[in-house]
Structure 1
Amino acid sequence: MPSGQPSSEERDRIVEATFACLAEPHEGPVHVSAILTRAEVSSRAFYRHFESKDDLFLAMLGQVTERLAVELDEIAGPDAAGGPDPLTRLRAWLDRMFTLASDTELHPYLAVVDCDEMRSAKGYRDAREQSRARRESSLVDILAMGREDGSFPLTEPESDAIAIAALVSRELTSARIYDPAQIPVARARVERFALRALGVVVANTVGSDTTAQ
């Protein structure tokens, strides 16, 4: 590494230390000094990567959001498993979102970036809105595919993506979602809503076609 170039390993240690500090029970705000101690870096190292603690928090939010968004992009992309069928892609998108409730690797990070201290960071609201739009962009693409091929005849991709994603978020933050048995129930509830809103026609139990009930 050239002299004076910040170490990505050093930056990662600071980020992981901050996640750990925020995830643990604590009183009051987490101080930069506690983060430095946990990461075993100096204050000079901290300011090589971040202008302030708020800047660090926003970077953490962006990092977690991008990680999830990349996975969702793969569902909407041309090489997605299940082929080009928009309904298959929509269901896969919902599946991935609802696995967050039981994803032991990613869920703790999502909980941290939604905590009160993170929310108090200067610029958090705007960054959160950008993160929401980034995450939903793949859903917009899927709905647009469905509008184009007629499988989602009633869709307005931009507004419908917001509505579907908002319902997903509400279900994922509900207390009942922490009961594993309720995850598929909540997932099915969102799908029923989405199919009705999009005007999807599905086969009923006797073999004829009907709009999703």
Structure 2
Amino acid sequence: EEPPPHVKFLFATTEVDKLPVTVLSRTQRFDLRRIPASLLAEHFAKVCRLEGVEAEAEALSIIANAAEGSVRDGLSILDQAIAHADLDGEGKVSAARVRDMLGLADKSAQRRLLGHLLEGDAPALLAAVEEQYALGVEPIAVIRALMDLTHRVTLAQVSGSEPEAPAEDERAALADFAARLGAGELHRLWQLLLKGHDEVRTGPDP
């Protein structure tokens, strides 16, 4: 029953909660953590320098966030972005091209959407959503963008700053939203967006 001393068994899983206790009690556990987006962006910038590829810092930040902590996934997205840049004939990985490739709303559009929502301006909000849809941004991506923005406004409100907002206009917009909204309002907004996310994801025609 005992294996030879030189034999090592490696068992990798993303669903450790499904493993029986009899297995867990006989193993050494090593958890692989997600890599912070800031470190991923730095790594991708180094890769671009080594490969002689010109890339905007914002573009690499978008790729790092889309990778969700995975270096492999991020490098795959970066490869796609470089290929898109070559197709354009520009050879530069731009934030606009990456957003278009991933079907994401740009940050200024996110802020406009949230502004219309908070002002209760339904016609302007619907027009902004329609504009994003015409640009190829899926409805689920719009909801996720608003959720991400709400989360960042909450961070700005709690800590007084948002480390992932390098641009001055973005920091000012986050500070403005944080000053206009109370903690309770942000919580309710998050719950509404969360409910909307589930409905859009499961709806037959979002």
Instruction: Determine if the TM-score, normalized by the shorter chain, exceeds 0.5.
Output: no
